[in-house]
Amino acid sequence: MAASHPATRQIKTANVTHNEALAPQNTLASSPTLLLNWISAYHKAIVANEHWLTELDSAIGDGDHGANMRRGVERIMEHRGDLKGADLSTQLRMISGHLTASVGGASGPLYGAFFLHASCVVSPHHETRIRNFATCLEAGLQGVVGLGHAIAGDKTMVDVLIPVVTAYKSIVRRHVSPAQFFSETIQIAEAAMKSTISMQARKGRASYLGARSIGHQDPGATSMFLLMRTLAEAATKDPAFTVQTQKSTTRKLIP
């Protein structure tokens, strides 16, 4: 059974040491490990939180979301060696294929659509900048919406993706450090995840429960939060994340 107050559950995290020694003007072509580090961190997060995802899904779904997501990330890790020599677009397409093929239910195709559409807007020399992150995430969001037809408030993973994409796009108008920005996006994603508790499901199996789905956190929104959180953590640590050093000692993200 699901916990009575799922929002109070502390999400397990892998031990991570943040590295803020960020070098300027590098590209993903010179930092091919960013996506690999992200997916590795996501694998650890899914494994650590598998039982929680199962509890959440048992309350309003089939109870298999935890096992399904674990199977998906483990398949990616099994083929991690194939990803190492590929460019970013190819890596994203490969991840899409693995998730679509191995994750059961609706989540596999939805996560597959996210990574597939993200792969369509990057090039081998796509710079590691927030604007490009926003472009990839927005394309991924469009892929999920196009396949599942969910909108904000439907109690799905889209309820996490929309505010996160908005946050990434807003960085164009702001001047904050990478650590601060990614910390903020994690908070935004977590708040969005928890907001699904008060929603009535309008998509998927949970929608059959009607008003009884209110009071339960959406498992898909939760696994999407973990994906967005581990992305922020991986980007914060990556030494090739593009920043600009101003005349002062303050660093800002290049939008």
Q: What is the pLDDT of residue 179?
A: 78
- Give, in order, the Cα–Cα distances in Å from 141 to each of 15, 137, 200, 219, 244: 29, 6, 21, 17, 28
Q: Is 171 helix (H, G, I), strand (E, B) or coil?
A: helix
* pLDDT by residue, tens only, the chain of 255 residues: 444 444 445 455 443 333 322 222 333 333 558 899 999 999 999 999 999 999 999 999 999 999 999 999 999 999 999 998 888 899 999 999 999 999 988 999 999 999 999 999 986 555 556 667 788 999 999 999 999 999 999 999 999 999 999 998 887 667 777 778 889 999 999 999 999 999 999 999 999 999 999 999 999 999 999 999 999 999 888 776 544 323 333 333 334
Q: What is the pLDDT of residue 148?
A: 97
CA gap 50, 150 in Å, rounded = 24
CA gap 197, 219 in Å, rounded = 10
Fold adopted by 23-253: 1.25.40
Q: Which amino acid is at 186?
A: I
CA gap 213, 204 in Å, rounded = 11
Structure tokens at 254: 């290049």
DSSP 4-15: SSGGGSPPP---
What are the domain boundaries of the chain?
23-253
CA gap 96, 76 in Å, rounded = 9
CA 92 to chain CA centroid, Å, is: 13
Q: What is the pLDDT of residue 46?
A: 99
Please name every residue paired with 245 in a beta bridge, in sequence order, or none if there are none: 251
CB burial of 102-115 (b: ≥16 within 10 Å; e: otherwise) equals bbebbbbbbbbbbb
Q: What is the pLDDT of residue 82?
A: 93
CA gap 215, 206 in Å, rounded = 12
Q: What is the pLDDT of residue 88?
A: 87
Q: What is the pLDDT of residue 248?
A: 31
Cβ of 146: how many Cβ atoms within 10 Å? 10
CA gap 59, 16 in Å, rounded = 31
